[in-house]
Amino acid sequence: MRVNHAGEIAAQGLYHGQALTARNPETRALLERAAREESDHLAWCEQRLKELRDRPSLLDPLWYAGSFAIGALAGLAGDRRSLGFVAETERQVERHLDGHLEQLAPSDTRSRAIIEQMRADERSHGELAQAAGGVALPTPVQHLMRTTARIMTTTARWI
């Protein structure tokens, strides 16, 4: 759950950075709405961490700051690319959550319910971004995003 919490911290940073640099008010509103929904995910993960007697990643400020910068850069690339970044991010997060669900014990219904709702919301964010004009990102950018996410998730698990 610590990794999911760190991911939600990063999502806040991404969406806030992208909203800051969005050119179109409709794009900005979409990003701000998604950030509010991600706040729910963050609260759920935080509560579940407490229930599990665990703690968030000590690197959460770094995840937020780095993600904010990446989000701002994505926004500076233009709204269509920024929305494409959202769509790709959410596809990758959805795959991560699928893997997490496979690892969870079937008896952990509380964590399972949280992750299933998060997965549905992430899918919706990606679909909305795509429908709003998001363009596919080049393959090297997608690979870089996966590598960055892998570093974050591996590090957040332990630190």
Task: Work out the angle at residue 122's Cα, subtended by the Cα atoms of residues 119 and 124, and round it to the nearest 5 degrees.
Answer: 110
* H-helix segments, the chain: 2-21, 25-51, 60-76, 79-103, 109-131, 139-158
The residues of the chain scoring below 70 in pLDDT are none
pLDDT of res. 1: 84
The CA distance from 136 to 141, in Å, is: 10
pLDDT of res. 18: 95
Q: Where are the domains of the chain?
A: 2-158
The CA distance from 131 to 125, in Å, is: 10
What's the whole-model pTM score? Answer: 0.88
Q: Give CA separation, 89 vs 52, 82, 85, 114, 148, in Å.
A: 27, 10, 6, 19, 11
pLDDT of res. 145: 86
pLDDT of res. 51: 93
pLDDT of res. 4: 86
Q: What percent of the chain has pLDDT over 90?
A: 72
- DSSP 8-class letter at 150: H
pLDDT of res. 159: 92
* Cα Rg, the chain, nearest whole Å: 15
Full DSSP string of 9-54: HHHHHHHHHHHHH-SSHHHHHHHHHHHHHHHHHHHHHHHHHHHTT-
| 2-158: CATH topology | Ferritin (1.20.1260)
Token pair 């959202």 in the structure block, residue: 86
pLDDT of res. 59: 93
